[in-house]
Amino acid sequence: MQTLEPTVRLFFIMEEVVEILSKERILVLMGGTSAEREVSLRSGKAVLSALLTLGYPAYALDYNHSAIDQILIDKPDLVFLALHGQNGEDGTVQGLLDSLDIAYTGSGLTSSVLCMDKVLSKKLFKYEGIPTAGYKILKKKDLIDSDAIHTLKEEIGLPMVIKAATQGSSIGTYIVRNEEDILSAINNAFLYSHEVLAEEFIDGKELTVALLGNEQPEVLPIIEITSQNEFYDYESKYTQGMFEHIIPARIDRISEENIINISKQVYELMNCKGFARIDFMLDKNGYPYVLEVNTIPGMTELSLVPDAARAAGMSFEELVERIVRLALKK
């Protein structure tokens, strides 16, 4: 038997090599140039670590112009998109990869554009009868009228939510409780986007639903979010101890079923693929309102989708594997 040991050992080594070579080469794109760059780097590093643990020949690139040249040279089998915000989550990179005929995780170009732009999302929700808070779309020219702010207060009411139209992670989002603070909040939001959304404030529970799948998505456990700040803002999202993810959410069965059904409807409406996260407010009467859809939700150690996956009995590595397989089936 001793004379066979080197051969047996070589057999197992060769088996491992074959397994590694048979796995897809995966590029993790992260970083980028958006206001969410630091979060993207954290998501990308977590995903890369999981892929390497799973045995994939994976590597990472910080997304910039030189990264595009590198993608052209490397031609990876799959790009795992860990980019957040503009020039990453908004269809820009998706369109580039489509033109290069390179597979990537998550939703396609059109879906990414629709979900990233809160104005487009709102219009589509309203047209399709998806419950969403009342709103008004603002452009800079709308503020020329001296009565514009008072009119806005009369139409939307106070408190109101002011949002930059094309940002994530609550960047450029403000809750305004006094009329004299409306204009400054709008001007701050315009620093991040050429359009701003003024939205009715919904008093109630903040909930989020993660979905996994292409045509028939699996709905992961609903999460209720509480925050140390006034709402689940950028600081709360990415600072340990500033938030609590409550699973299962403290809602009744009827509300749960309603939110699950709406989540599936929205996922299909927006043509989401792979995975996405849909944010809700549930008012004190148990009525749900869709806030927005995140097509590349965070994958950091503090993020919601990994928490929902864990609650469903899925490790982070298993979650990453599922996303990879779904991308290759797209």
DSSP string covering 261-302, please?
Answer: HHHHHHHHHTT--EEEEEEEEEETTS-EEEEEEESS---STT
User: Which residue has tokens 């509300």?
Assistant: 255
Domains of the chain and CATH, by start: 2-105 (3.40.50.20), 114-121+203-329 (3.30.470.20), 135-200 (3.30.1490.20)
Q: 140-190 pLDDT, tens per residue?
A: 887 767 688 989 999 999 999 999 988 766 788 999 999 999 999 999 999
Question: With b meaning 16 or more CB within 10 Å and e meaning fewer, what string describes 252-272?
Answer: eeebbebbeebbbebbebbeb
Give bridge partners of residue 200 from the DSSP assignment.
160
Average pLDDT (234-261) is 81
Tell whether residue 187 is among the known ligand binding residues.
Answer: no
**pLDDT surpasses 90 at 275:** yes
Mean of pLDDT over the chain = 89
Q: 206-223 pLDDT, tens per residue?
A: 999 999 999 999 999 999
Confirm if 62 and 30 have CB atoms less than 8 A apart. Answer: yes
Question: With b meaning 16 or more CB within 10 Å and e meaning fewer, what string describes 179-193?
Answer: eebbeebbeebbebb
Tell whether residue 292 is among the known ligand binding residues.
Answer: yes
**pLDDT surpasses 50 at 120:** yes
How high is the pLDDT of residue 65? 81
How high is the pLDDT of residue 130? 98
Distance CA 5, CA 37 (A): 50
List the structure tokens of 153: 């207060």
Q: 123-139 pLDDT, tens per residue?
A: 999 999 999 999 999 99
**pLDDT surpasses 60 at 89:** yes
Residue 169 is among the residues annotated as catalytic for this protein: yes
Average pLDDT (256-270) is 98
* pTM exceeds 0.75, yes or no: yes
- The mean-pLDDT minimum among 174-183, 235-244, 279-288 falls in 235-244
Average pLDDT (68-78) is 94
Q: 13-67 pLDDT, tens per residue?
A: 444 444 445 699 999 999 998 888 999 999 999 999 999 999 999 999 999 888 8
How high is the pLDDT of residue 241? 62
Residue 121 is among the residues annotated as catalytic for this protein: no
Catalytic residue among 36, 89, 199, 256: 36
Catalytic residue among 40, 43, 107, 169: 169
For the chain, counts of helices (H) and of strands (E): 12, 14
Q: Quick one: what percent of the chain has pLDDT higher than 70? A: 87
Beta strands in the chain (DSSP E): 26-30, 58-62, 78-81, 103-104, 135-138, 160-164, 173-176, 196-200, 204-213, 218-219, 223-227, 243-246, 274-283, 288-294
Residue 107 is among the residues annotated as catalytic for this protein: no
Distance CA 266, CA 210 (A): 12
